[in-house]
Amino acid sequence: MSSHIMLDIETMDTENTASIVSIGACAFDMDNYDEEITRKFDIRISLESNQKAGRTISASTVSWWLKQSKEAQAALHRDPVVNLKEGLTQFRMWADEVKPRASRIWAKDPDFDVVIMKDAFNDLGMVWPFKFWESRSVRTIVELAYPNGDEPHIELGVAHDAADDAIRQALMVRHCYWTLNHAK
């Protein structure tokens, strides 16, 4: 059994310094195709605590959020809502408790989710729980498994709800992994 973690965040900017308003994650076993994903992390971060920490907000991202579904917007305000340091601490503790230790941290785009999270950890003097070589890209494995862009669409939860996105992306990664390793 090997543990992997899928990370998805929702932000108020696209820069490395973006305010993080939601963190969703799940742990999954790449080798167990039928395993239900039950190890989940889901938390909202107050915008005020991001502002106090010097995290940024962009008008274009706020405008983008205003065009999203009411369900996606509502997901940003669901309890629990904590300050940035508490949210990052809880994520770190959750990731550390995944057994066996997660050997990979996945994100749809690690250059976004992982980079912003690492920046926030650094800003608050905290240690990011993963090594740089452990980051993996959802987009890359999907493109390898479906080079013609004909990948299946996984219906699950609300788009732009960080926890739902993390689970949907983990299911896609596991599907692509099995497609690549069991193709004839």
As a whole number, the mean pLDDT across the chain is 95
User: What's the rounded Cα separation, in Å, for the pair 178 and 31?
Assistant: 8
Cα 14 to Cα 37, 61, 141, 151, 163: the distances in Å are 28, 7, 23, 26, 19
Model-level pTM?
0.96
User: What's the rounded Cα separation, in Å, for the pair 25 and 5?
Assistant: 7
Please report which confidence band the pLDDT of residue 33 belongs to, taking 50, 70 and 90 as the band edges: confident
3-182: CATH topology: Nucleotidyltransferase; domain 5 (3.30.420)
pLDDT at 182: 82
Please report which confidence band the pLDDT of residue 1 belongs to, taking 50, 70 and 90 as the band edges: low
User: What's the rounded Cα separation, in Å, for the pair 68 and 86?
Assistant: 27
Going from N- to C-terminal start, the domains of the chain cover 3-182
Would you state the structure tokens that stand for residue 97, as one six-digit string? Answer: 């408790």
Q: For residue range 98-153, what is the model confidence (pLDDT) as tens digits?
A: 999 999 999 999 999 999 999 999 999 999 999 999 999 999 999 999 999 999 99
Planar angle of CA 173, 4, 154, nearest 5 degrees: 25
